[in-house]
Each structure stands twice: as C-alpha cells, then as structure tokens.
Amino acid sequence: KAGVTQTPRYLIKTRGQQVTLSCSPISGHRSVSWYQQTPGQGLQFLFEYFSETQRNKGNFPGRFSGRQFSNSRSEMNVSTLELGDSALYLCASSGATEETQYFGPGTRLLVL
C-alpha cells in the first residue's frame, strides 16, 4: 500500500502571497489531519477532515483553511502569508476506526 504523499515537498513564497498544499492519504483512509511543525512551537494541530467535513480544528487564525475531496485527498490553504508561517507542514491519515495516524513526508514552506 502506498503511504501518505504530500506535494509539493518544498515551497518558497513571499509575504502576502497565498499557498495551497496537497495531501493524498493512504488508500481507504478517510481521515486526514494537518500539523504545523516549527523549532519553537513543535508540532501543532491545524485541523482534521473526515468524509469531506472538518471534524476538528486547532487554534490557528482564519488564514489557515482546508478542505477534503470525495476521494479523501485534502488540501490546506494559507492566505496572506507571514514570515512566521515558515514551517514543515505535515499531514497524516487514519482509518475510520483507528487511532493510529500515518504521516506523510511533509511540505517545507519558507516565507521570505
């Protein structure tokens, strides 16, 4: 079974721009969670989608949004980028009845 894939792997943007990151879960997994990882704050939960519905949301501003498609693929969008948004963005998928989350390789975003 293929693992979780994320595209692109690396991104460089400038302040004020917006960015869209993509995540394809493991086949059959319907839950996708997104995390931001920075050296200072560690791993922080952004949101979780299940069957195209946002099921859970972390404490991030509204500039961070996401969605999930009928094939369970998910995208997250960050608008009006700030320097502090530079981070590794990880997505993870899990089965409907499973607590274990399987992570993708991440997208490293650098905001200049």
CA angle, residues 57, 60, 61, in degrees to nearest 5? 120
14 or 56: CB nearest other proteins: 56
Does 92 participate in binding other proteins (rule CB under 8 A)? yes
Residue of 45, 73, 86, 95 that binds other proteins (CB under 8 A)? 45
Are 21 and 107 in contact, with CB atoms under 8 Å apart? yes
Task: Give the span between the Cα atoms of 86 and 78, in whole angstroms.
Answer: 11
> Segment contacting other proteins (CB under 8 A): 12-20, 64-72, 73-81, 102-110?
102-110
* Residue 95 lies near other proteins (rule: CB under 8 A): no
108 bridge partner residues: 10, 88
The answer to whether 48 contacts other proteins (rule: CB under 8 A) is yes
What is the layout of strands, in order, in the sheet containing 64-68? 5-7, 19-24, 74-78, 64-68
By CB under 8 A, is residue 90 in contact with other proteins?
Answer: yes
Among the listed residues 29, 49, 101, 111, the single contact to other proteins using CB under 8 A: 101
